[in-house]
Amino acid sequence: MLDIKLLFLIGLSFVTISLSAQEGYQMKPNEKYIEVDFLSSYYNQDGNNGAVTGGIGTEALTDFANILVVNVPLDSTKSVNVSLGVDYYTSASTDNIDNNLSSASSKDVRSYVNIGYNQKLLNSGWTLGAKIGASIEYDYSSINGGINLAKELNNGNTEFSFSAQAFVDQWKLYLPEELRGEVTVPTTSRNSYNAQLTWSQVINKRMQMSISAEAIYMEGLLSTPFHRVYFENEALPDIERLPESRLKIPLAVRLNYKPTDKLAIRTYYRFYTDDFGIDAHTASIELPYHINDSWTVAPFYRFHIQSGSDYFNPFAIANSSDEFYTSDYDLSELSSNKYGIGIGYTPLYGLGRVNLPFSKRLLMFNSITFRASQYSRDTGLDGYAFALGLNFRI
């Protein structure tokens, strides 16, 4: 079982104990350890196509996200993974659900937890796993569960994996102020099911690749209840209306190549299609370069282009006689660019260590990473993000 006392001691040590200088301690290659990752990120965006106000108006949003991930090996074949997260955001867009600016809808906290279990079956090459999770925010709650299977072949150089997951979600209805009591929705539930197959292959000592195919089926209230849609020559809007089911098919390939001992080239391409009428292509490249044994720098770039949904209309263009309509620019024809850089520091003996109080365990501050990115798309939306990652081992 996961040692709750141990998790408490980890948190206590973060707050009350300074890390001492490392004096030559190095973990053994096969040593079993508890791994703790903490990631904190800040995201800021702005634009002028807010879906809450019918495709015009502010898209200003900030999000401060924090996640703690703990992986605990129970023995040589079994492990438990626990992730805890809290996101705090402020949104000028959702603040326009009603006329009371700076209302409760202008900010929110999303909290979530996920627990996973994995077990390797010795001499068979199989790995089996299962996970459960839940999240909650002011107008939305979700529970999920899933399984994963993996089979290693060819002395570990080939792997086939399968994963399946289901999400059961529930909306708490917040409608635009002027439409309350005027409109209804068919359901407040949303269910999602996804399954993915992946083939991973080590081609040689410098090249690896993987190919994946995924199917995602969604049903229920797929529109956002507080998104407005305005019509030509009509003063009163309606809420966003979308079909009660959606099928998404992403297909992806990754190719990683290491031309030198210091440089790696990581490439990714994904094709996406769905029955809302969207086809999309996404391509990215990342170039991690090891400056020395401790420092790594990794510039990256991502390009995305998509066609618009059959149901998308800009502000005051939709036809009220249509069955479905949206003015959410996430479903419009668009292209976007994201670029940035990551910096990692992983010294051979770690950044520091400390003995956990009331325990014989040693906490090692193993590495620190920083990542910054800039995002822009041709609809006028721009954003930037910063992320800090800390890795600890026990």
Q: Per the structure block, which two tokens stand in for 246? A: 């959606």
Secondary element (H or E) of residue 5: helix 4-16
Cα–Cα distance measured from residue 306 to residue 335, given in angstroms and rounded to the nearest whole number: 6
Answer whether 332's CB lies under 8 Å from 244's CB: no
111: left (phi over 0), alpha (psi -120 to 50) or beta: beta
Position 94 scores a pLDDT of 81
Q: How many contiguous H segments (helices) and E segments (strands) does the chain have?
A: 1, 20
Closest C-alpha among 213, 212, 171, 162 to residue 191: 171
Could you tell me which of 291, 246, 387, 347 has the C-alpha nearest to residue 23? Answer: 347
Tokens encoding 42:
């800040």
- Residues 136-177: tens digit of each pLDDT: 998 899 999 999 999 999 998 999 999 999 999 999 998 998
pLDDT value for 163: 98
Q: Which residues pair with 284 in a beta bridge?
A: 268, 302
Nearest in space to 214 (alpha carbons), one of 161, 281, 255: 161
Q: What is the pLDDT of residue 95?
A: 79
Domains observed in the chain? 36-344+367-384 (2.40.160.40)
Mapped onto helix, strand or coil, the DSSP state of residue 13 is helix
Residue 85: C-alpha distances to residues 52, 95, 126, 138, 371 (Å): 26, 24, 30, 16, 19
DSSP state for residue 232 in the 8-state scheme: T
Q: Classify 55 as helix, strand or coil.
A: coil
Among 224, 146, 225, residue whose Cα is nearest residue 192: 146
> Cβ(190)–Cβ(221) under 8 Å?
yes
Residue recorded with tokens 């949104």: 91
- What pLDDT sits at residue 161? 98
pLDDT 10s digit of each residue in the chain, 394 long?
344 444 444 444 443 333 443 444 455 555 678 999 999 999 999 999 999 999 999 999 999 999 999 999 999 899 999 999 999 999 888 878 876 554 545 788 999 999 999 999 988 999 999 999 999 998 899 999 999 999 999 998 999 999 999 999 999 998 998 999 899 999 999 999 999 999 999 999 999 999 999 999 999 999 999 999 999 888 899 999 999 999 999 999 999 999 999 999 999 999 999 999 999 999 999 999 999 999 999 999 999 999 999 999 999 999 999 999 999 999 999 999 999 999 999 998 889 988 888 877 889 999 999 999 999 999 999 999 999 999 999 9
Measure the CA dihedral 347/348/350/354, to 10°: -150
Close Cβ partners of 334 (under 8 Å, ≥ 6 residues apart): 305, 306, 308, 377, 378, 379
> How much is the CA Rg of the chain, to the nearest whole Å?
24
Q: Residue 254 to residues 156, 208, 268: CA-CA distances in angstroms?
A: 18, 8, 5
- What does the alpha-carbon distance between residue 336 and residue 334 come to, in Å, rounded to a whole number? 7
Of 54, 44, 48, give the one whose Cα is nearest residue 328.
54
